[in-house]
Chains A and B, each alone.
Chain A
Amino acid sequence: MMLPLLIVWLMAGGIIAWLIEKVNASLSKWIAFLALAAAFGMTLAWWMQMNTSGGLNVWLMQYDIPWIPDFGIHFHLALDGLSLLMLTLTMFLGLAAVLTSWHEIQYRVGFFYFNILWVLAGITGVFLTMDLFLFYFFWEVMLIPMFFLIIIWGHENRRYAAYKFFIFTQASGLLMLLAIVGLYFVHGIASGTYTFDYFQLLNTHFSPQTGRLLMLGFLAAFIVKLPVVPFHSWLPDAHSEAPTAGSVILAGLLLKTGAYGLIRFVIPLFPAAAAEFAPWGMALGVLGILYGAVLAFAQTDLKRLVAYTSVSHMGFVMLGVFAFNALALQGVVMQMITHGISTGALFILAGSLYERIHTRDINRMGGFWTQVPFMGTIGMVFAMASLGLPGLGNFVAEFLTLLGAWKATHILTILATIGLVAATAYSLRIVQKVFLGRSEQKFTLPDLSFREKMILVPLVVVIVWLGVYPQPVMNTVKEVITLTLNPTDIKPTTPQISDKDIQKGGTHDRK
């Protein structure tokens, strides 16, 4: 019951935030803030509960009622470790997004927070759904408010960016819908029960050719969202034109739905086809790592630069997912979280700078350290996170991914590791261009305000925590990862695996 309540809570919060604008515009942001704070508290409480109780079941909570029974469509939500982590991240970054918009958004405030909360509700739905039809529904729910966020509150070129984002996502989403319907009929014809239920569709038997086609449909939606080169070109435009909160949600959360889709659907539903595709998947990942890094290095628009670093970092997700082993998948999950935090923080910094100097052009920046040392320090931390400095979360993610990928492919792992050198080049360029050097133009910048510190300092704390003690996160997802690699074991009532073999270490991959 709690699961649908979470989604309804966010949606209701959005509607109230919109309506209350008529009374007092600044109440809208408070409503949004409180709604998210409560939701964040709830996800944290679930996580605590999971850690203390241990539980007997991989699925911590389930909610399943028929929605359109004639077509086998259920309103089926379920929570496991992976969803839980993603939800916690969603609420955490959602809070950051609301706080960062506090003064930035002055126009149609109520509708803005409505869209923020509905995007987040859509993301929450995506992370919880165990019914493919419902999944597609939430996939679309994410899209439309995001479209509004970009087109109404974006920067100069917002219309172009918003349409581009919409068309890319929608077109690829339609391919997924085709695949979902295809899977529905294939399964229905073979077994006689027509259903969109995830658990029943697992282990559907189909010919390799059908499997390949259906997988490609799902893959299309997810790798456009992730994004994977060469389907990435919506991302730099959308990220750089969106308002700060939009960029944070896009980079921090929407991209992760692509990664989540790969882990939750592509591999368990089509293990054979995915294994067949794996070399190509890893190659695309490495291409993205290198291509994104080279492009990031050349950019002069700060937000565009950060956007291309996302392309590069998401390459690790692709590489790790298709390496098909537990180590790499742990790395991928870490990457989803740490990239959300570090890139979110970089976008927030870019937004704070924009509020102060009204430009995103790094050639006009420089020498800001003298005036804003606090901001500089935080910028340095996240630039280091982005280049994969050990001690920060991103390193754990990238190292585990590479360590796992090494088992699958040597050449590609070496190329991906070389990407770390390119990451050093672009990350240091950010710091140099913005904070170091001498300032050409005489900007006066106040250092971070209390509100901005309240956003950024927790992000720093979390990224350090994930860098030196990531174990709680890893424990939370280890069962999900084991199951993903053995999809025949996924059942609505999967018992938890004894963790002795994992704690002791030393045992090799069970692949």
Chain B
Amino acid sequence: MKELLWLIPALPLAGALILILAGDKLSRAQAGWVGCGSVGLSAIITLLIGFEFLSSPHPYDQLLWSWMAVEGFHTEFAFHLDALSMVFLFVITFVGTLIHIYSTGFMADDDGFARFFAYLNLFVCAMLILVLADNLLLMYLGWEGVGLCSYLLIGFWYQEEKNGYAARKAFIVTRVGDTSMAIGLFMLFQAFGTLNIQELMTHASQTWQVGAHAAVVIAFLLLGGAVGKSAQLPLQTWLPDAMAGPSPVSALIHAATMVTAGVYLITRTHVIFELAPDAQMAVGIVGAVTLLLAGCSALTQYDLKRVLAYSTISQIGYMFLALGIGAWSAGIFHFMIHAFFKALLFLGAGAVIMLLHHEHDMFKMGGLRKKLPVIYWTFLIGSASLAAIPFVTAGFYSKDQILWLALAGEKGNPVFYAAALGGAFITSVYTFRMVFVTFFGHEHTHVGHDAGRSMTVPLIVLAVLSTIAGFIELPHTFGHVTLFSDFLNPVLPTVALKPELEHLEVLFQAIAAVVALSGVYIAYFFYVKQPDLPTVIKKAVPGLHHIWFTGWGFDALYNTLLVRPFVFLSTLNKNDVVDKVYGGMVTFTQYCNGVLVRTQSGMMRWYVMGIVIGAILMLTLGLML
């Protein structure tokens, strides 16, 4: 069965090609079938390979063809399947299929129906290559490929100027990170003469000491790539704007899969990060700071999707925090659970926005609980998971693990823990703010009917997953199930606990539970019981509100420091100052020509004068020399 591995990315690619080449000749139904069918088949193959993998969990390598082989450098189109890529395959194909199915409903009336599925299929293909690649160059291909599809899909409704702007911003900002990653690849190649990931990891652990200079530099460069793709500080600015794309795109690319590519990259190269404690610490710090900053920004947004966008940045911050303390499988676990509930929330939000005729402002929604029961309940389940409501949601188990390890893990410390705990509180507040404002209170915009079945079924499936998926990994104080971490153990090292804290786990779980619930109560108090209070607070501290609302002013900073100077210089020099030099030579020649032409005046007295002066000059020269 494993021999069919290549089909998993090949099928969506075939789907994309069919839709690009013959999209205008297919009916909507046909295009929908091609789009969903290709990803659905990939999901089925993933499942079959997954079963086989569970029974014999050995890594599997598949060589497709040699990409390039030149003196001293060779790299292949080759896939490497292990537990880590298995988890990503599963999430990408399954969540991907659900989102494709949802999109047949969501995009039903759109002119670019076939084009949408073509891009979406291409995206799935690139993402699958990213996680299957056995070498960093092929991973880079997938990495840039998902960037392209993200660009195409953010700007899908291309007639709006601002969508195009958001799309270009996403591409260019992530490309800054990619540049750093590319330099990391050059250095890795120079150090070991290969880009094959397994070989690199072996070489690295054999050659480098912990804290080796090269390892630290390379780890930082890879981190640069990761923060770009995963929208972490300081390259997080593109993600909120990326919400210009259709909601299924936000769900698939900007929540469930592509934005977690950075998490994948760091986990995949964890050997290097473990050899570079400074860089690994930096990963944790980036995560901790990002999760707090983005959480605060999420508190102040009005646009439903922007709340979710900041929330995504913040949740990926948790994953980075987990990686920073060496809790690899906890980070990956949170990735998977986050993919379920955040995709669910985006799809739910998309359905609401569509049914309200493209109204994004949640303060113009309200009272949707009764009108849209399916969306309400599934959205509530997703929100509960995001807010980590204890015991019943998957989000609780994945986040609690990170919280606990941030303190009790070997590389954990109280600062990380405090940030994570504070973030958990903020998360729960903004999440339920969103729920209360959108679904409770008075109805501000009339809405006719509930969404169609193609949209509600994926919501229900994701809601179920957002709940039960947590039970495959339970803390040992509470059930002690370790299916997920056992599965990843052959690939990722486990994290050791500080012995003095080990017995306190129950206490910290209780704290986490209380914090999450109190966040819900605060949201309830401010937005249901005293709905005027937020406005009062906002008026009291307008500066703070503004800075949170605008995402801490990063956009303004980059515009002033980078974008405007670049555009200014470029516009200033539009006509190429170098060309002016050559133009100057021409002008000078013409001037000399003009001067000499004037000597040929046709008047005898000037000529005689010339002869006389010439004769005098020559005589003088002759006498002097």
Contacts and interface: CB of A to CB of B under 8 A. Distances in A.
B182 A417 contact: yes
A406 B187 CA distance: 8
Given A295-B576, A468-B77, A474-B69, A438 B193 contact: no
A509 interface: yes
A333 to B, nearest CB: 10
B158 A369 contact: yes
Contacts of B140: 390
Interface of A, helix, strand, loop or mixed by DSSP:
helix
Contacts of B582: 164, 233
Contact of B72 (A297, A417, A470, A509): A509
B159 A428 contact: no
Given A420-B182, A424-B172, A326 B571 contact: no
B32 interface: no
A295 B51 CA distance: 55
A294 B574 CA distance: 9
B72 A507 contact: yes
A413 interface: yes
Contact of B69 (A380, A395, A503): A503
Contacts of B115: 373
B608 interface: no
Given A295-B570, A384-B148, A505-B74, A421 B172 contact: yes
B171 A478 contact: no
Interface stretch (B60-68, B244-252, B258-266): B60-68
Interface string B103-127: 0000000000001000000000000
Interface string A135-158: 000000000000000000000000
Contacts of B68: 396, 400, 470-471, 474
B576 A420 contact: no
B175 A507 contact: no
Nearest to A481: B71
Interface string A297-311: 111000000000000
B144 interface: yes
Contacts of A391: 141, 144-145
B67 A469 contact: yes
A403 interface: yes
Contact of B183 (A380, A417, A478): A417
Contact of A413 (B67, B69, B186): B186
A428 B190 contact: no
Interface in A393-445: 395-396, 399-400, 402-403, 406-407, 413-414, 417-418, 420-421, 424-425, 428-429, 432, 435-438
A418 B72 contact: no
B168 interface: yes
B570 A436 contact: no
A421 B173 CA distance: 9
A230 interface: yes
A85 interface: no
B194 interface: yes
Interface in A436-456: 436-438
B175 A420 contact: yes
Contacts of A414: 183
Contact of B186 (A406, A436, A502, A503): A406
Contacts of B40: none
B454 interface: no
A377 interface: yes
Given A367-B159, A402-B186, A298 B573 contact: yes
B176 interface: yes
Given A417-B179, A506-B194, A390 B144 contact: yes
B541 interface: no
B3 interface: no
Contacts of A369: 158
Contact of B158 (A295, A330, A436): A436
A428 B152 CA distance: 11
Contacts of A123: none
Contacts of B72: 326-327, 505-509
Nearest to A326: B71
A466 to B, nearest CB: 10
A397 B581 CA distance: 33
B67 A468 contact: yes
B73 A403 contact: yes
B161 A437 contact: yes
Interface hub of B71, B137, B581 (most chain A Cβ within 10 A):
B71
A229 B182 CA distance: 25
B569 A294 contact: yes
Contact of B190 (A294, A389, A407, A425): A407
Contacts of A294: 566, 569-570, 573
B225 to A, nearest CB: 12
Contacts of A295: 570, 573-574, 576
A482 interface: yes
Interface hub of A367, A471, A478 (most chain B Cβ within 10 A):
A471
Interface hub of B73, B141, B190 (most chain A Cβ within 10 A):
B73
The number of chain B residues touching the other chain, given as a range, is 35 or more
Given A236-B576, A299-B574, A502-B70, A418 B179 contact: yes
Contacts of A406: 183, 186-187, 189-190
Interface in B542-583: 566-567, 569-571, 573-574, 576, 578-579, 581-582
B20 interface: yes
Interface hub of B66, B160, B164, B172 (most chain A Cβ within 10 A):
B164
Interface in A455-511: 468-471, 474, 478, 481-482, 501-510
A74 interface: no
Nearest to A390: B141
B409 interface: no
A360 interface: no
Interface string B144-176: 110010011001001111001001100110011
Contact of B159 (A438, A482, A502, A505): A438
Contacts of B571: 298
A408 to B, nearest CB: 11
A230 B578 contact: yes
A117 B498 CA distance: 78
Contacts of A428: 151, 167-168, 171-172
A432 B71 contact: no
Interface hub of A298, A396, A507, A509 (most chain B Cβ within 10 A):
A298
Contacts of A395: 141, 144
Given A402-B186, A420-B182, A436-B155, A327 B71 contact: yes
B186 A233 contact: no
B578 A233 contact: yes
Contacts of A236: 576, 579
A399 to B, nearest CB: 7
Contacts of A436: 155, 158-159, 164
Interface hub of B66, B148, B182 (most chain A Cβ within 10 A):
B182
B17 to A, nearest CB: 11
30 contacts: A230-B578, A230-B581, A294-B566, A295-B574, A295-B576, A326-B72, A327-B72, A369-B158, A377-B20, A390-B141, A390-B144, A396-B68, A400-B70, A406-B183, A406-B186, A406-B187, A414-B183, A417-B182, A421-B172, A435-B158, A436-B155, A469-B67, A471-B67, A471-B69, A478-B70, A481-B71, A505-B69, A507-B71, A507-B72, A510-B71
- Ranked nearest first, the 5 interchain pairs of A and B with the lowest CB-CB distance are A505-B74, A390-B141, A326-B71, A406-B186, A298-B574
Interface of B: 20, 24, 65-74, 77, 115, 137, 140-141, 144-145, 148, 151-152, 155, 158-161, 164, 167-168, 171-172, 175-176, 178-179, 182-183, 185-187, 189-190, 193-194, 566-567, 569-571, 573-574, 576, 578-579, 581-582
Given A236-B576, A327-B73, A384-B148, 20 more contacts: A232-B578, A294-B569, A295-B573, A297-B570, A326-B72, A327-B72, A367-B159, A370-B159, A390-B140, A390-B141, A391-B141, A395-B141, A400-B73, A403-B186, A425-B168, A469-B67, A471-B69, A474-B68, A505-B69, A506-B72
